[in-house]
Structure formats: C-alpha cells, structure tokens
Structure 1
Amino acid sequence: MEDCIIIGAGPAGLTAAIYLARFHLSIRLFDCGSSRAALIPKTRNHAGYPEGVAGSELLRLMLTQAERFGAVRETLEVTRIEPLETGFAVHADGRTFPARAVLLATGVVNHRPEGIEDELHGEALRRGLLRYCPICDAYEVTDQRIGVIGTGDHGMREAVFLRGYSADVTLIAPEAEHRLDADCRAELDAAGIARIDGPCDGFRIEGERIGVGTANGRMAFDTLYPALGSRIRSGLAIAAGANASKDGCLEVDDHQRTSIPGLFAAGDVVKGLDQISHAMGEAGVAATTIRNMLAQQRPIRR
C-alpha cells in the first residue's frame, strides 16, 4: 500500500510528489500525459526563470526532481477512486493500487474554438498566435491587435481585461450572434472594444498573423484568445462522493481536504486562480497536511 497516490502530473501534482517523497513517504504518481501546462510555449510569469521556460521543460524538470527522491510515475489513466474502510483503491488500466491517501491534481481542459484542426491549433500555440491565459501572457501582446472569441459576461470580462494591454481589442461571437445584455454592451462601449458577430470559423495562419472568418468577412489578428470556458476534471472525486460546486470545482478546506477523509485536491480542479504558482502553493499545503495526517495514524520513523 502506497502512503499517497497522486492523480495528475501537472505543476500541482509534481510539487506534491516532491514534498511527499522528501517526507520519506511512498508515492505513486499517475500521469496520463494531458497536463495543460505542457501546452505553454513559454511562461514568463514563473519566478526564477527570467528568460521564461517552456511548460514541457518545467514539467520535465519537476518530474526529474520528484523521481530523484523516490516518487514512482505511472503512465496510466485512472478510471475510478474507491474509498475503503481504511484508505483507497485506485483503479487504472485494469489494475488496482491501494493507498492510504489520495491527492487529485487533474486540472481542467480548455474549450477550443470549433473547427480548428489539431495541427493548426498546435502550430498557432507554439507561435503565440493562439493563447488561453491573459494573466499568463497578455504582457507579450502589449499594443498588438487582439481578438477574443467569446460572448456573454465571460467573453466581455476577458476582453475588458485585455484592454489593459492594447487599444485594439475585438470581441467575436463564436456562433451567429452575440449574447450580450445591456450591462455587457455598456462595458464594451466604455472600453472602446469592437464586437463582431460570428460564426467564428475558417482559421488560418496568414504570415505573422492568424486569420478567422466573421460576419464582417475575414479578419486577421496578432493573437486570438478563446474565452470559451473550460471543463473541470473532477469526475473521479465526484463519483467517489466528494462535494463540488455547481461548475464542477471540488470543494476543499484551508488544508486542501475534500469532503471525503483522506482525499485531497489541489490546483485548477479546485476553485481559485488558475496559475502555476497558485497550484504549487496549494500542493505544498496539501502535501504537508497529508504527511501530518499519516503521521498521526502511524508515526513516521526512519
């Protein structure tokens, strides 16, 4: 039986693995290879990397660090978490792994614009023509021509946030017409943000810009930000009985404990700021709480 199984190998899961392994606990880390951080061409928000660091490289370094201290990585997708009378059974690929505690760090999946092919999506991300996190990288598109794919309150708020970086921001409806109430329209007008009806389709890289079809014909932007929301990957915990908000974020206390004793959650799967630094901080809190909980059950001795 492992002391702790961590599900998810993004910044939160890997931070927890480093902490827990250095607490001299037996750790098994499940990595299905879909961390959202791996899609980041280069983050310049992460402290300690003045020239920036690619998301994939950051994950590689963190995994190397966790394995150096004894964490074991499994490249399997977990299908079920089963609470037991004592601990848990984690099911993956027809196998069962027992654990005294479980930490869920499965994150979220961004909703992509419809009609954008995988190859084009990947190339646009690598070149900074398509971006998903204004907090992370809007600085890099200061004073450039920015398109935001979205509508409603969520689309309006993202466009207004980006207006703090450029005077040239356009909000494009993903479908036929915008769904904007009077307050949203007033906010956009006050910020000087143009709004264009959709559908938003026909994505193409055009030289140093990304082109897209709209109700006003084809337009080209220095970068596009999809403001289409995301899917919270909390299903494993919810199926096991954990409480979640109506949007699917797991409910945790100040020590990252879910409503199921021994089941913890950290990172984007929990409601909060979807940032690497925030996920890592939550993971440090969760890992320390897990260590102290296990030590109360059975003192840790070398």
Structure 2
Amino acid sequence: MTSSETQPDDCIIIGAGPAGLTAAIYLARFHLSIRLFDCGSSRAAMIPCTRNHAGYPEGIKGTDLLRLMYAQAKRYGAHRELAEVTALSRDEDGFAVRIGDRIARARTVLLATGVVNHRPRSLPDDVHDAALARGLLRYCPICDGYEVTDKRVGVIGTGDHGMREALFLRGYTRDVTLIAPDAEHGLDDACMAKLDAAGIQRVDGPCGGFAIEGDRLALDTAGGRMAFDSVYPALGSRIRSHLAVEAGARASEDGCLEVDDHQRTSIPGLFAAGDVVKGLDQISHAMGEAGVAATTIRNTLSEQSPLWR
C-alpha cells in the first residue's frame, strides 16, 4: 500500500452529491486544499426532474444540478476523483483515507455518502429505470408529491413506515393504495384505523410482474393485477455510514450518523452532512448542513494554525 502525498490536505470530502459539492464550493473558496472522492452513485442523479429546489421554477434534472454544482466547485480549484473510498482511520496527521491500494491523508474529513433506497426485489432494472424517468416510479413524496395530485397512486410497503407514507400522499390524492411487498400486511389495529379513516385501500402481496402498460406502471398483487399513475416504494433505505461507524463514530440504530449543531461526529475532525446524517432527506437540507460543516472545518483548522494568505 502506498501513500500518494507527503503533506495532508486540509479536508477530504467523500461523496459528490449536493452535500459534498456544496462543501467543496465553500472549502475551495476558503482557499483550503481539498480532495473530493466520489463513487458515482449519488441518489440525486436518479431524479428525472425536481421542481421544489429553489431557483429553478421549471425544474431541473438531478444530473444537470450535479453537473452545475461541480462546475462551480471546479472553478475555485476543487477536483473530483471517481473512486471508491474503502476505509478511513485516524493517524498522526488527522486521517488516513484508503482508496484501492493508495492512502490519502487529510487534517479533516467530511462524509457526504448519502443513502441507497431499497427497491422492490422483483422489479427488473430496465423497467425500474424507464419508470423512474417517466415519473411512474417515485421515491420521495416530499420532493414530488405535488406531481401526483389527484392521480392514482400505489405505495409498496407495510407496517408503520408504509402507513405513514400512504397517509402523506393522501394529502395529494384520494386514490391511494397500500400494497404489501411480500405477503400479508403487517399492520396493527392503530395503523389500520388510520388508513381506514383516510380511505386508503390495502392490498396484500406478494407484488411482482412489473411492467409499463401505456401511461401506467402495472404490477401483480394478491388482489389481482393493478396499474397506477405513480408507484412509491416505501421500503426504507441503507445508510452509507459504514466508513465512519467502522472508524468508531456513533450512529443511530438505523445507521444515521450522530452529529452536533456544527455537523461534527463523535470523532474529532470527522464531519458529516446530508442524508447520511439523521434528519430530513432533502437537497436543500443537505446543502445547508454542508455549508455549516465547511465553515466549521475552516474555523477548526484556523484554530490549529493561522490560515493567512
């Protein structure tokens, strides 16, 4: 294993979604030496068009937003390397970050690795991608619930999580069906009472046979084949916090990193922002956390040694 540099960077950012790129813009404009590692799987890249991100009244494609943000960071000297970070640990300089057979070093690290949505297991990749591009499959009712106003919506999920997502979407349309992903619904009496009060239908699984039929996404259920204008998987997500957790950072039971008001994890010098942190999974929120983290990083480094030109 080799070390690629003798002097540590001021900060290594892991992840180049909205949080990582916002931090890169801030840190580069603070005249800090930074490095940005990205494995190329930002959840924002999956967004066909977001219309609730301020400043884009006609909406913007997720990949276009990321492209513009990186161009802005690059303008001030930030460089992104497409590579997967496999481990990080503390060392005498701050942190050692492993990328393949290389080690990069930095005085601080910002983790902005986000989350991965769980997909229905029987949904083929080609159908998934085509349905996502057409708005027939959606993952964030906060982001795009407005687009399903008065449309026929299916929610794949059960239990308290599925119930809460179905109830949220009931604020946009009367026609909401909660579909169990595997077998019978796992709903307690309180959940069923809330669904009944909202007029939300319940259909047992398993669900499968996904196909785009006309302008709808169709699937098989225990109640027969059904088709919807949009389908929301409410199956949870995997928090990509393992790098920090393996290094000793505290996290919640579901894997969200615990941070203070300045985005500091329980490991000094290790910061986190965006969906990997417990809180609202929204682009605007991730960007705000990244701004706080980047400013704190700058001020922390200046306490260690003056940041003078």
TM-score > 0.5, shorter chain as reference: yes
Q: TM-score band, normalised by the shorter chain? A: over 0.9
Per-residue deviation, 1:63: 0.5
Equivalence for 1:295: 302
Alignment of 1:250 onto 2:257? yes
* Correspondence for 1:61 among 68, 73, 81: 68
Matched residue of 1:78: which SS?
Answer: coil
The answer to whether residue 232 in structure 2 is matched with residue 210 in structure 1 is: no
Provide Cα deviations, 1:196-228, integer angstroms capped at 9, x if missing partner.
000011100001000000001100000000000
Following TM superposition, by how much is the alpha carbon of 1:283 offset from its aligned partner in structure 2, in angstroms?
A: 0.2
Alignment match, 2:4 = none
Matched, 1:191 2:180: no
The amino acid that maps onto 1:270 is: V
Deviation at 1:177, TM superposition (A): 0.4
Provide the alpha-carbon RMSD of the alignment: 0.5
Write the deviation string for residues 212-264 of structure 1: whole angstroms up to 9, x where unpaired: 00001100000000000000000000000101111100000000000100000
Q: How many equivalent residue pairs?
A: 302
The amino acid that maps onto 2:100 is: D
The separation in 1 between residues aligned to 2:99 and 2:128, in whole angstroms, is: 30
Match of 1:116 in 2: 123
1:276 pairs with 2:264: no
Whole-angstrom distance in 1 between the partners of 2:71 and 2:251:
33
Runs of 4+ in 1 over 2 A off after TM superposition: none
Shift of 1:86: 3.0
Q: How does 1:15-94 map to 2 (within 5 A)?
A: 15-94=22-101
Q: What amino acid does structure 2 have at the position aligned with 1:271?
A: K
Q: Secondary structure at the match of 2:86?
A: strand
User: Which residue of structure 2 lines up, in the alignment, with residue 171 of structure 1?
Assistant: 178
Contact 2:93 2:105 in 1 (8 A): no
2:132 aligns with one of 106, 125, 135: 125
Cα distance in 1, alignment partners of residues 9 and 113 from structure 2: 19
Q: CA deviation at 1:85?
A: 3.0
* Paired residues of 2:12 and 2:108 also in contact (CA < 8 A): yes
* Separation (CA, whole Å) in 2 of partners of 1:72 and 1:260: 26
Q: Select the residue among 155, 168, 175 that pairs with 1:161.
A: 168
1:130 & 1:5 partners in 2: Cα distance?
35
Report the TM-score when normalising by structure 2: 0.97
Q: Which residue of 2 aligns with 1:226?
A: 233
Q: How big is the shift at 1:84?
A: 1.1
C-alpha distance after superposition, 1:86-117 (max 9, x if no partner) = 31010012111010100000000000011111
| Whole-angstrom CA distance in 2 between matches of 1:92 and 1:85 | 19
Amino acid at match of 2:92: E
| Residue of structure 1 equivalent to 2:149 | 142
| TM-score, length basis structure 1 | 0.99
Q: Unpaired runs of 5+ in structure 1?
A: none
Are the counterparts in 1 of residues 241 and 276 from structure 2 also a CA contact under 8 Å? yes
CA contact (8 A) 2:11 2:107 kept: yes
